[in-house]
Each structure stands twice: as structure tokens, then as C-alpha cells.
Amino acid sequence: MNPEDVNQISSQGGGIVATVILLIQLAVLIVTFAGMWKVFTKAGEPGWAAIVPFYNFYVLLKIAGKPWWWLLVALTMCLTIVPMIIAGLGVAKNFGKSEGFGIGLGLLPFIFYPMLGYGDAQFVGQKTP
């Protein structure tokens, strides 16, 4: 086998790996959006808001009982994970879930939002106006 054949096989394998990674990322994104959609509808918000960038975080903050200006904080901070965890804690509290669940919402939304959305949890808290 000459070096050109090896390079061709190598580049084809890289394309396959990239395609698989892209498909996995797309699946995770779809699962997260589906879970958030259900959470939004349970809280009396429009489900479609889950797929609109920035607006989805505004609605999430509303459900969490946090003021709208936290969106500005999240946009200006280098680490948006802090506002995501704090919002997750508020959402978990307003659905009657534990603080551990809220941290899960902030750190692993692709697992915890579908659990919250498709589970039996009901919205029990108050949203910000």
C-alpha cells in the first residue's frame, strides 16, 4: 500500500468520525429542546420559546422566578454556567425538585430538562411578571 492510499483512507475516516459527532450533537440538541419545550408548557409559557435563542433563556429566568436583567448578566459574563445553574435551581424549586436536580438542570440540561418535562413534576412556584 502506498502512502497516498493511506492518506485517502485516513481522511475518509476523519469525515466519518466528524459526521458521527455532528449527529450526536444534533440528537443532544433535539432532546434538550424537546425537554425544555415540555417544561415551558407545564409552566404556562409557549413551548416554541425553547427554540428561540436568548428568548428561551429569558423565559427560563421567568419560570425560575428571576428578574429579566439576569439575561444581561449571562450575556456579559465569560462564564454563563453560573447563571444557568442559578436559573436551574430556581426552575427546580418552582417544580418542587431538589437543589441537586437544579444543579443538574444547569450542568446537564440534555438529561434533566427531558426528565423534568416528560416526568410527572408540576409547576408549583411563581414566575416573575
Tell me how far apart the alpha carbons of residues 55 and 52 are, in angstroms, rounded to a whole number: 6
Residue with the larger pLDDT of the pair 108 and 7: 108
pLDDT category of residue 78 using cuts at 50, 70 and 90: low
Nearest to 45 by CA among 125, 111, 127, 106: 127
Would you list the domain boundaries of the chain?
Answer: 3-118
Can you give the pLDDT at residue 73?
A: 81
Lowest mean pLDDT among 15-24, 52-61, 76-85, 118-127: 76-85
The pTM (predicted TM-score) of the whole model is: 0.78
Following DSSP, what letter does each residue of the chain receive, concatenated? Answer: --HHHHHHHHHHHHHHHHHHHHHHHHHHHHHHHHHHHHHHHHTTS-GGGGGSTTHHHHHHHHHHT--TTHHHHHHH-S-THHHHHHHHHHHHHHTT--HHHHHHHHH-HHHHHHHHHHSS----S----
Can you give the pLDDT at residue 31?
A: 94
Nearest to 40 by CA among 29, 28, 52: 52
Q: Would you say residue 16 has pLDDT above 90?
A: no
